Amino acid sequence: MRKNSLLLALFICGFFQGFAQWTPITLETKASFRAIRSYGKHIWIGGTRGTVIHSSDGGANFHVSNVPGADSLDFRDLAILDDKTVLLMSAGPAENGAAKVFRTENAGESWELVYQIKEKGYFFDAILWEGKQGLILSDPAGPFYGLIRISNKGRDFSLLNPATHPELQKGEAAFAASGSSLQKTKLGYYIVTGGGSKARVLYGKDALNWESIYAEIPGGEGTGFFSLGVRDAKNLWMGGGNYSRIKEGPVPVLESKDGGTTWSPVVKAPGYYVEKILWADPYWILSGPAESSAFDPMKKRWISLGKSPYHNVCRVGDRLYGVGGRGQIGFISLSQIQQLFLSKE
């Protein structure tokens, strides 16, 4: 074997050892991805350069395309309304033309710009859809967070004016990281924040009445809670860190067993920057651009899923799919995770 061939083989071997638990998927794209959601067997992924990826068969096949007129946009989150209808949300300064929502009603065959806000200060962070209506979360452009109601199957948008809202901290914002800074349960809405002196949790019994329910963790520029994970209305996890220090965990992983009223540290949680927390029954999954891990609540044990690059993950059947920078996409099965736990016993 020639020397350069040997070096290549060693590199490939080292690469796959580093990602031993995850199976990489090679697609013709170098875009970076933070948006991924599933609906039945449909998987939708959004990223930089106006890139969108769709699978209609649970990940067996993926189709990569670009939304016309969106080459400069970064799709940080998306909402799936049904088998054919999807909303793509771009993140970036509104005054630079980056706060936009595109809609398809034919599974991506064509896209239409359905909403844009141009006022300085707005920066879309997350979008969710529940039943017959949705909500967009934006960084504050005034005395409270920007909240935009979505209705009529993603055709109509209205900027909300909250009736009650806690005073904002200097520099406070939500993070457009994995679309999980905004969540909803049957008890109401939750927003996790950072950037201010304290990382906070805001709670709204509806989208118009908000209060601060937790503010005990030091924040700072680029530091705070990035993700809220929901098991059910009472059991919540949240975590984050600082996006410029991905191998460190300056913000602990916390859990609540009472719908967010009280929080406590998760014992022996890994100490790296967490961008997504996901409940994938029967495990909690943590992922960031440096590592990923799984926690078994029954056994109260952690396992590492490797040095993985995934900003965001979602579940489709027995598999978890992850997306990251430079076109990195991969999957791991819950069956594999179960075997990893068994092998550690």
Amino acid at 17: Q
Whether 6 has a pLDDT exceeding 90, the answer reads no
Residues 17, 7: Cα–Cα separation, whole Å:
15
CATH 2.130.10.10 spans which residues of the chain?
Answer: 179-345
| Separation between Cα atoms, residue 15 and residue 1, nearest integer Å | 20
% of the chain beyond a pLDDT of 90: 92
Cα–Cα distance, 318 to 316 (Å, whole number) = 6
Q: How is domain 30-161 classified at the CATH fold level?
A: Neuraminidase (2.120.10)
What integer best gives the mean pLDDT of the chain? Answer: 93
Residue ranges matching CATH 2.120.10.30 in the chain: 30-161
Q: How far apart are CA 309 and CA 171, in angstroms?
A: 28
pLDDT of amino acid 102: 98
Half-sphere exposure of 68 (CA within 13 A, CB side): 6
Q: How far is CA 342 from the centre of its chain?
A: 29
**Which tens digit of pLDDT belongs to each residue from 258-268?**
999 999 999 99
The pLDDT tens digits for 127-179 are: 999 999 999 999 988 999 999 999 999 999 999 999 999 999 999 999 999 99
Closest CA to 290 of 336, 321, 244, 331: 244
Secondary structure letter of residue 181 according to DSSP: S
In this structure, what token pair is assigned to residue 3?
A: 């020397």
User: Which pTM value belongs to this model?
Assistant: 0.93
pLDDT digits (tens, 9 = 90+) for 90-110: 999 999 999 999 999 999 999
Q: How far apart are CA 333 and CA 316, in angstroms?
A: 9
Instruction: Name the residue among 223, 268, 272, 221 with its Cα closest to residue 246.
Output: 272
Q: Class assignment of domain 179-345?
A: mainly beta
